[in-house]
Structure 1
């Protein structure tokens, strides 16, 4: 089942969509709907971690150091999702967390395109 990255990519793609939906619901003042979407997003955090861990344990022999860094960056992104949503709902500043989110996303995309298990559009 985890010879490919399909389940993992699907879970993080849905999580990214849910993240922006939750932000949009907050901006439109629909707090009850935002809470529901945020709780659903938290379920997807667990699915992302589960599918990522299964992929890591199955394929870590390829390049364990870089896959470990990619796993840590993935946890970093999940933390930034949560910090941005929680601080936004409290009305606090989120600029530093957005910067960290962008940096972690760039690290993940670079490693995802560079490592053997990912797809290689430039090779």
Structure 2
């Protein structure tokens, strides 16, 4: 089942879309809609982690160090998404969290493209 990355990519694309939707709902003042959508997003966090762990356990032998860094980067991306939403809902500053989120997302995405299961754009 996990010889390819279709399920994993689908879950993180949907999660990124839901993340933007929650941000827009929070900014629009629809707190109830934001809370419901954020709960759905949290389910997708679990699905991302589950599919990521399955892929990692099957394919990390190709390059354990880089797959480990990619795994850690993915966890950091999920953590930053959640922290941005929670702190944003409370009206706190999220500037540093956005910087960490964008950096971790870029590193994780780059490694996803570079490693053997990716599109090998940077080989």
| Normalised TM-score (structure 1) | 0.97
Deviation digits for residues 14-49 of structure 1, max 9, x if unmatched? 000000000000011100000000000000000000
Q: Do structure 1's residue 88 and structure 2's residue 104 form an aligned pair?
A: no
For residues 6-45 of structure 1, the aligned pairs below 5 Å read: 6-45=6-45
Deviation digits for residues 70-117 of structure 1, max 9, x if unmatched? 000000000000000000000000000000001001101111111111
**For residues 70 and 20 of structure 2, what CA distance do their matches in structure 1 show?**
23
Contiguous gaps of at least 5 residues in structure 1: none
Q: Offset of 1:11 from its aligned partner?
A: 0.1
**For residues 4 and 92 of structure 1, what CA distance do their matches in structure 2 show?**
40
| Normalised TM-score (structure 2) | 0.97
**For residues 64 and 120 of structure 2, what CA distance do their matches in structure 1 show?**
19
Structure 1 residue ranges (4+ consecutive) displaced by more than 4 angstroms after TM superposition: none
Whether the 8 Å contact between 2:114 and 2:121 is mirrored in structure 1 is: no
For residues 112-123 of structure 1, the aligned pairs below 5 Å read: 112-121=112-121
Q: How many residues align?
A: 123
- Tell me which residue corresponds to 1:109: 109
**For residues 71 and 122 of structure 1, what CA distance do their matches in structure 2 show?**
19
